[in-house]
Chain A
Amino acid sequence: MEIIQQLWQSSGFALLGWKELVMILVSFVLFYLAISKKFEPLLLVPIAFGILLANLPGADLMADPAGLFGGVAQEGAHWYDTGVLRLIYAGVKSSIFPCLIFLGIGAMTDFGPLLANPVSLLLGAAAQLGIYVAFIIALFLGFTPEEAASIGIIGGADGPTAILLTGQLADHLLAPIAVAAYSYMALIPIIQPKIMKLLTTDKERKVEMKQLRSVSKTEKIIFPIIVLVICALLIPSCASLIGMLMLGNLFKECGVTDRLSDTAQNALTNIVTILLGLTVGATANGDAFLSPDTILIIVLGLIAFSCSTAGGVLFGKLLYIVTGGKINPLIGAAGVSAVPMAARVAQVEGRKYNPTNFLLMHAMGPNVAGVIGSAVAAGFLLMMFGK
């Protein structure tokens, strides 16, 4: 009888608290959204599984007995006693995973539309407005500047950038920020059209843009090198993200590293996505996740995202006026860096008002500019608040 009692007491059922139970239910909801509703499934499935694993009591997959990650070291504990997910989490904490994801993104990105229309870069910059609006509101709500910066970066709509910055500045908020960032990216087709419609007139939405100029291969090869040099010299803290993004793009464009480009686009990105999603999810333990901060982060994320979209559209309207009606302001909304979802939304919305309109390639310019813009914004915030 005593043995059975001991067995029960050491089992997960006896150790299960209400917070763990709620987190397990949260993981089920995320599984449903990812599998049934197909909301960013490549990331939400590993994140949900990470949440499930980390909240199974007694499994200690995120244990840090040796104090390697800032915890109190127990006597006689070795590094290899550390929970397996905590060890993998080193890839997030050290920024290796977000940087490798950026390498893959670079290898998948065609900067041609951006090179053909460099004004797109300004739209990509304007669509970072939400980062700073959310930063200020978060400060009002009592978050520290480091936490506020991490929350604000959700407005960049760039998952790896949000994870990198939060991992550096406020890693205790990593799970809610990652979940909010990826959830809103999946909800772009629902969030953006309303803001686009609200801020533009019928006439503006119908604007047909001129065909993009042709871009030479040489331009595409030299572009990543120029961008890296300019960005890294002006804001050195963004060199890791921009550097990897541009390296990936150089693999793609130079034409002599097809194998490297293929690996960066497929195998490497897939492996890192699994590890990144799993460990980010595993940081969502009940104590950290079930707090007022999480609810506020979800709300602030939506504000950040909406303001970024509005910033891009409003700058698009400015360009519409300056260019005498040659730029369709809808492409400004694609300045948030969720590639290529935001560009597709601009295309779909544009065609609703003018069925002969084809905005996709024009929207891809601000879209990829947004990736650079959010990395620069993250670099700036890292420079201001990083240790």
Chain B
Amino acid sequence: MRFFEEFMTDIVSIGAEFKDKFVNIPARLPAVLEQLPTALTGFIVVLSMLAIIAIAILVFSKVMYSFSKKKGEKETVVETSANNVAGATVSGTPLADGNSAGKLDLVDVDESTAAVIMAIVSDQSGIPLNRLNFKSIKKVEDK
């Protein structure tokens, strides 16, 4: 009985509170207008802050590029974390179909298995094979 009485009292009070949220919307307009500049400023701040970082990255990468050009630093390539395939990277320039570049180390893996693995990686990642660069394929023994 106590359980039911408490439930009814609370439901009535929750209902009244809920109604109050919507009934008084017009009365809250001045308070909202007061906070409107804060919202606009907040969005502009986020946009500007990230724009500043973008500019900083652009400037920095230009400096790095000219510096590395001088030093002949070899750049790494962006890793394809799409499928966490170790040793497979996306090469900057696609090669003509049928061509390959670099050397592929096969450790305890025959060529046909390696071809199947490369085809699966290409299919799953959606990257054409002529854009993928495999460094090594190694058989991992079950323990």
The total of chain B residues at the interface (CB under 8 A) is 58
Task: Tell me if B51 and A125 are in contact (CB < 8 A).
Answer: yes
CB distance from A234 to the nearest CB of B (A): 6
* A residues in contact with B18, CB < 8 Å: 292, 295
Task: Tell me if B79 and A139 are in contact (CB < 8 A).
Answer: no
* A residues in contact with B73, CB < 8 Å: 216
Nearest opposing residue in chain B for A364, CB measure:
B81
Does chain A have a CB within 8 A of B28? yes
Task: Tell me if B76 and A136 are in contact (CB < 8 A).
Answer: no
Q: In the complex, which of the residues B24, B58, B76, B93 has the most CB atoms of chain A within 10 Å of its own CB atom? A: B76
CB distance from A62 to the nearest CB of B (A): 20
Contact flags B37-57 to A (C-beta < 8 A → 1, else 0): 011111101110111111111
Task: Tell me if A121 and B6 are in contact (CB < 8 A).
Answer: no
CB distance from B61 to the nearest CB of A (A): 6
CB distance from A260 to the nearest CB of B (A): 21
Contact flags A130-151 to B (C-beta < 8 A → 1, else 0): 0110011001111001001000
Does chain A have a CB within 8 A of B105? no
Task: Tell me if B53 and A380 are in contact (CB < 8 A).
Answer: no
- Please judge, given known A-B contacts A19-B10, A132-B39, A136-B36, whether A126 and B125 are in contact too, CB under 8 Å: no
Task: Tell me if B80 and A142 are in contact (CB < 8 A).
Answer: no
Q: Of the 9-residue stretches A1-9, A41-49, A108-116, which lies at the interface with chain B?
A: A108-116
- Please judge, given known A-B contacts A17-B6, A142-B20, whether A216 and B78 are in contact too, CB under 8 Å: no
Which residues 240-284 of A have a CB within 8 angstroms of B? Answer: none
* B residues in contact with A18, CB < 8 Å: 3, 6-7, 10
* B residues in contact with A222, CB < 8 Å: 60
Task: Tell me if A121 and B53 are in contact (CB < 8 A).
Answer: yes
Contact flags A208-243 to B (C-beta < 8 A → 1, else 0): 000111111111001100110011001100000000
CB distance from A287 to the nearest CB of B (A): 9
* A residues in contact with B40, CB < 8 Å: 132
* A residues in contact with B42, CB < 8 Å: 131-132, 135, 377, 380-381, 384
* B residues in contact with A110, CB < 8 Å: 79, 81
Does chain B have a CB within 8 A of A87? no
Does chain A have a CB within 8 A of B25? yes
- Please judge, given known A-B contacts A140-B32, A358-B126, whether A214 and B78 are in contact too, CB under 8 Å: yes
Does chain B have a CB within 8 A of A67? no
Q: Could you give 27 example pairs across A and B, Cβ below 8 Å?
A: A18-B10, A110-B79, A119-B54, A121-B51, A125-B46, A125-B49, A139-B31, A141-B25, A145-B35, A211-B92, A213-B78, A214-B76, A214-B77, A214-B78, A215-B78, A216-B76, A222-B60, A358-B125, A360-B82, A361-B82, A364-B81, A369-B50, A372-B53, A373-B50, A380-B42, A380-B45, A381-B42
B residues with a Cβ closer than 8 A to A are 3, 6-7, 10, 14, 17-18, 20-22, 24-25, 28-29, 31-32, 35-36, 38-43, 45-47, 49-58, 60-61, 64, 68, 73, 75-82, 90, 92-94, 125-127, 131
